[in-house]
């Protein structure tokens, strides 16, 4: 993987655990790459015949010009997190958005036709919003800064010919939207360590029948997820998305089905270790 920083990434441990368990002759290593060296790093990948790369912040956009092909959804999102090297032909994918969706579907929730409220309109929201629109969810993007949600909606209209509704993150608006929703997704960093007491959605709005998906994975169980559980809602945590984006990348590189449970156990072990 390349990124900056990469020191605290749990992906190496997660991927290597699955390689080991399957007896596959691969190794996953993190490389800290500065912005100005992204092109050289991709050239190095070709020269060294690396089978694949994960790309993390801040290089997900910057790698694109150096690839031979980019998968359709990754192109629409404008971010690549996985590269596969097929005999010198480099293809970019976005398994963050695919992993988000897969974790949802694995929980038995098909977003098609569902009312979904996405909280947040930042970098993480874009792939999620596009994945959900691509799967015919009825979307509303709620953000503290309304103009940013509007920008994301505009981009969605350009790309898909359809835009989500948008709303500001005000208490009455959120209450009305969550009441109508089947699924609520938090893509903001509210509730992330060290602000573990915070939640983007007041607990009184949560109820049985609702699916609450928080992409924050540190802590493993956020305040939002704990509130949702207590309210009888179905919950999906950021660890699931993290594991599935890794599992989908693993499958593209190796052609083997990933050991999702092994990867999840390892991810949780690493996160608990801190
Ligand atoms: P990321 O790439 O992790 O999505 P980002 O692009 O900085 O990071 O976006 C962070 C998101 O969290 C934004 O939607 C941000 O809202 P604004 O657009 O209004 O900044 C949201 N966010 C961060 N802190 C927040 C807070 N305390 N309350 C509500 N939303 C917050």
Question: Are residues 70 and 157 part of one domain?
Answer: no
Instruction: Give SS3 for 178.
Output: helix
- The CATH number given to whatever domain includes residue 38 is 3.40.50.10860
Ligand 1 pocket test target in 3, 60, 117, 120 with most atoms within 8 Å of CB:
120
Distance (Å, whole) CA 54 – CA 3: 9
Domains: count for the chain: 2
Ligand 1 touching residue 120 (CB < 6 A):
yes
User: CA-CA distance, 215 to 44, in Å (whole number)?
Assistant: 32
Q: Cα(125) to centroid of ligand 1, in Å?
A: 9
Q: Are residues 85 and 109 in the same domain?
A: no
Q: Within this chain, do residues 185 and 113 fall inside the same structural domain, yes or no?
A: yes
| Residue 144 Cβ < 6 Å to ligand 1 | yes
Rounded to the nearest 5°, which phi and psi values hold at 161? 75, 5
What's the distance, CA 214 to chain centroid?
A: 10
Spatial distance between the Cα atoms of 224 and 198, rounded to a whole number of angstroms: 8
pLDDT at 136: 87
pLDDT at 235: 98
Name the residue range of residue 255's domain.
2-93+240-273
pLDDT at 104: 97
| Residue 148 Cα: closest atom of ligand 1 | 18
Angle at CA 241, nearest 5°, toward 236 and 247? 135
How many helices and strands, by DSSP H and E, does the chain display?
10, 12
128 CB under 6 A from ligand 1? no
State whether 102 and 231 are in the same domain.
Answer: yes
Q: Which atom of ligand 1 is nearest to the CA of 149?
A: 18
End-to-end CA distance of the chain: 20
Same domain, 123 and 219: yes
Alpha-carbon distance of 69 to 42, in angstroms, equals 13
Residues 11 and 133 in one domain: no
Compute the distance between CA of residue 58 and CA of residue 137 in angstroms, rounded to an integer: 29
Distance 253 CA to ligand 1 centre (A): 32
Q: Are residues 77 and 104 in the same domain?
A: no
**Hey, which residues are catalytic here?**
60
Q: What is the pLDDT of residue 274?
A: 76
Q: Is 123 in the pocket of ligand 1 (CB under 6 A)?
A: yes
pLDDT of the chain along its 274 residues, tens only? 999 999 999 999 999 999 999 999 999 999 999 999 999 999 999 999 999 999 999 999 999 999 999 999 999 999 999 999 999 999 999 999 999 999 999 999 999 999 999 999 999 999 999 999 999 889 999 999 999 999 999 999 999 999 999 999 999 999 999 999 999 999 999 999 999 999 999 999 999 999 999 999 999 999 999 999 999 999 999 999 999 999 999 999 999 999 999 999 999 999 998 7
Same structural domain for residues 114 and 153? Answer: yes
CATH number assigned to the domain comprising residue 192: 3.40.50.720
């Amino acid at each position: 993987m390349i990124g900056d920083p990469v020191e605290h990434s749990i992906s190496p441990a997660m991927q290597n655990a699955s390689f080991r368990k399957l007896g596959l002759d691969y190794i996953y290593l993190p490389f800290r790459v500065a912005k100005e060296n992204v092109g050289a790093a991709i050239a190095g990948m070709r020269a060294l015949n690396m089978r694949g790369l994960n790309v993390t912040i801040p290089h997900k956009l910057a790698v694109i010009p150096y690839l031979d092909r980019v998968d359709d959804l990754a192109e629409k999102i404008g971010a690549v997190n996985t590269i596969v090297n097929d005999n010198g032909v480099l293809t970019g994918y976005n398994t963050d958005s695919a992993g988000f969706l897969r974790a949802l579907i694995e929980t038995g929730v098909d977003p098609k036709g569902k009312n979904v409220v996405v909280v947040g309109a930042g970098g993480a929201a874009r792939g999620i919003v596009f994945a959900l629109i691509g799967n015919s969810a009825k979307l509303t993007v709620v953000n503290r800064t309304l103009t940013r949600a509007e920008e994301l909606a505009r981009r969605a209209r350009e790309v898909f010919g359809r835009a989500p509704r948008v709303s500001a993150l005000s208490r009455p608006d959120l209450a009305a939207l969550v009441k109508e929703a089947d699924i609520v997704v938090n893509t903001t960093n509210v509730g992330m360590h060290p602000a573990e007491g915070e939640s983007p959605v007041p607990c009184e709005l949560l109820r049985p029948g609702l699916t609450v998906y928080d992409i924050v994975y540190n802590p493993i169980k956020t305040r939002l997820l704990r509130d949702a559980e207590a309210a009888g809602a179905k919950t999906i945590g950021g660890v699931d998305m993290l594991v599935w984006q890794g599992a989908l990348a693993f499958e593209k590189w190796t052609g083997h089905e990933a050991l999702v449970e092994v990867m999840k156990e390892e991810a949780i072990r690493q996160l608990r270790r801190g």
